Amino acid sequence: MEQLPRTRYSQEFREQSVKFFKESGLTLVEAAKRLSLPKGTLKNWVYADRQGALTTVGKKQSSLTELELELSRIKRELAEVKMERDFIKKCAAAYFAKESR
């Protein structure tokens, strides 16, 4: 399956996420789950904040065009539909296997 493009986060979101982690008292993994972030991403932000370099994170990333955003959305939707289709196939196979007994 094709890998989806990386998510780009705003500077404000990065700062708020690090602040949430520091003030919540949660573990890094728990905070990342609550923020719906990969734990490595939050870990990198926290490390950059400790180094005083959080404002430089993501500066080299170019902004996505409207076409790239739409493509990304459609790829996510397609991946979700494929997972649903596969689940229905498994359920149908199990159902018909029970019926044939």
Answer yes or no: is pLDDT of 61 > 80: no
Does 44 reside within a domain?
yes
Does 93 reside within a domain?
yes
Confidence class for position 52, pLDDT limits 50, 70, 90 = confident
Does 4 reside within a domain?
no
Does 2 reside within a domain?
no
Does 53 reside within a domain?
yes
The parent domain of residue 82 ranges over: 11-100
Return d(Cα 54, Cα 45) in angstroms, integer.
6
What total number of domains does the chain contain? 1
Does 61 reside within a domain?
yes
Contact by Cβ (8 Å): 32, 45? no
- Output the CA angle 84-95-81, nearest 5 degrees: 5
pTM for this entry? 0.54
Neighbouring CB atoms inside 10 A of 90's CB total 10
CA 15 to chain centre: 17
Q: What amino acid is encoded at 77 in this protein?
A: E
- Per-residue pLDDT at 77: 93
